[in-house]
Amino acid sequence: MSDLLSPASLESARDAALAAFAAAGSLDALAAARTAHVGDRSLVAQARKAIGGLPGPEKAEAGKRVNVVAQAVSAALEARRVELEVERDERVLVEEAVDVTVLPPRPVGARHPLTTVSDRVADVFVAMGWEVAEGPEVEHEWFNFDALNFGGDHPAREMQDTLFVEPAGSGLVLRTHTSPVQVRSLLTRELPVYVVCPGRVYRADALDATHSPVFAQVEGLCVDEGITMAHLRGTLDHLATAMFGEGITTRIRPNYFPFTEPSAELDLQCFRCRGASAEPGGEPCRVCSSEGWIEWGGCGMVNPAVLRACGVDPERYSGFAFGMGLDRTLMFRHGITDIRDFYEGDQRFTLALGQEA
Ligand code: FA5
């Protein structure tokens, strides 16, 4: 009998294999031990080959011995493989774990104060059943000027006031006010119309503490039967109270706008001194320069020419409109002295005002 097939030799081959598997500290080391103890050149493989050279009666006996050893070796190999895989998986979980608590704190954002105040104004009107309307910022001159009854030579159309869109003659401008949304609303909606239109507008104004070439306005338009100036006053007082608190008063002074007749400038009683600074002996007030009033926007009764341009019968319908600066509204509300704060993108400003604007 080949020495390879002796019980002692087979047992020592098995023990050597089991010891090598136990000593393998990684799946790579186990793969190497497997080649050495289970591969073609291993003792067990050679013993299996040697069985063929045995005389018949001994073959079965030797085959059984080899099988017992081979099964023990492969069972030990499988058991060690499972152990090493579990160890590896646990190690990967620990080594590759992400500790989310070590991320740097993320800066907290806020809505821009102009967005907040614009929504707040819109809410006041939506609560009264009005709708919110929008229009494009790149607007056709017809909507921005012609339909609003601006004459062909009105100074507002000049380069010093209006930003024109190239090519010259395109008829497109950056809208200089939100009033073109009045025209769009009248042309596209059924009467009566009650719309509030907040939006960004552009003018060729130099940037200073109270003027910006881009700023925000909110427009209001109501066209219905029997609308009078009294409705305009009541609506503006309601808005002023919602924005500046109970007891605030508005004042209208005669003015001129091509699209309203009569037209008025809308003043707000100073929300800080409530007009007291203009009284004899009153404390001086920085906010209104002791005039007691501050200019907020323009307003008036919709000019019949505008109604006609939009296909509305001025004999049956009348309306009022108003438009005020949202930047100014915020400046009054919070005593902000420089409009540039809205446009410089300083997060501290946005965070301080964004939620409560
Ligand atoms: C108008 O723009 C009219 N469309 C308002 C109107 C609407 C009148 C409906 C009648 C009926 P005005 O040019 O006065 O009007 O501007 C209105 C408000 O916008 C001003 O009172 C001011 O609050 C604000 N405003 C004007 N120019 C600037 C600017 N460069 N920067 C910031 N706010 C401005």
Residue 231 domain-assigned (yes or no): yes
Is the CB of residue 324 below 6 angstroms from any atom belonging to ligand 1? yes
Is the CB of residue 175 below 6 angstroms from any atom belonging to ligand 1? no
Is the CB of residue 133 below 6 angstroms from any atom belonging to ligand 1? no
Is the CB of residue 183 below 6 angstroms from any atom belonging to ligand 1? no
Q: Read off the tokens for 199.
A: 């939006």
Give residue-wise pLDDT tens across range 210-252.
Answer: 889 999 999 999 999 999 999 999 999 999 999 988 888 889 9
164 and 20 both lie in a single domain: no
152 and 253 both lie in a single domain: yes
Is the CB of residue 180 below 6 angstroms from any atom belonging to ligand 1? no
Residue 100 domain-assigned (yes or no): no
Residue 107 domain-assigned (yes or no): no
Report the nearest atom of ligand 1 relative to the CA of 176: 2
Q: Which residues make Cβ contacts (< 8 Å) with residue 173, sequence separation at least 6?
A: 138, 139, 140, 141, 144, 162, 163, 164, 165
Distance of CA 337 to the CA centre of its chain: 28
149 and 290 both lie in a single domain: yes
User: Which domain covers residue 227, as residue numbers?
Assistant: 113-354
182 and 87 both lie in a single domain: no
Residue 213 domain-assigned (yes or no): yes
Give residue-wise pLDDT tens across range 95-140.
Answer: 888 887 777 777 777 889 999 999 999 999 999 999 999 999 999 9
- pLDDT of res. 110: 82
Instruction: Characterise 292 by phi-psi region: left (phi > 0), alpha (psi -120 to 50), beta (else).
Output: left
Q: How far apart are CA 1 and CA 233, in angstroms?
A: 121
Number of structural domains in the chain:
2
Q: How far apart are CA 213 and CA 329, in angstroms?
A: 17
Is the CB of residue 177 below 6 angstroms from any atom belonging to ligand 1? yes
Query: Hey, whose CA ends up nearest to atom 30 of ligand 1?
Result: 211
Tell me which of 26, 60, 95 is where a domain ends.
95
Q: Read off the tokens for 269.
A: 């009683």
Q: How far apart are CA 357 and CA 343, in angstroms?
A: 15
Helix (H) or strand (E) holding 225: none
pLDDT confidence band for 354 (50 / 70 / 90): low
Residue 189 is part of a domain; what is its CATH number? 3.30.930.10
Is the CB of residue 328 below 6 angstroms from any atom belonging to ligand 1? yes
Residue 104 domain-assigned (yes or no): no
- Whether the pLDDT of residue 1 is over 60: the answer is no
- pLDDT of res. 355: 66
Report the nearest atom of ligand 1 relative to the CA of 295: 21
Residue 243 domain-assigned (yes or no): yes
Query: Hey, whose CA ends up nearest to atom 9 of ligand 1?
Result: 322
- Whether the pLDDT of residue 191 is over 60: the answer is yes
Q: How far apart are CA 231 and CA 252, in angstroms?
A: 13
170 and 57 both lie in a single domain: no
- pLDDT of res. 357: 63
Is the CB of residue 211 below 6 angstroms from any atom belonging to ligand 1? yes
Residue 333, CB half-sphere, CA atoms under 13 Å: how many?
Answer: 21
- pLDDT of res. 100: 77
> Can you give the length of the chain in residues?
357
148 and 20 both lie in a single domain: no
Give residue-wise pLDDT tens across range 172-184.
Answer: 999 999 999 999 9
pTM, rounded to two decimals: 0.71
Ligand 1 centroid to residue 8 C-alpha, Å: 107
Give residue-wise pLDDT tens across range 285-325.
Answer: 877 889 999 889 999 999 999 999 999 999 999 999 999 99
128 and 8 both lie in a single domain: no
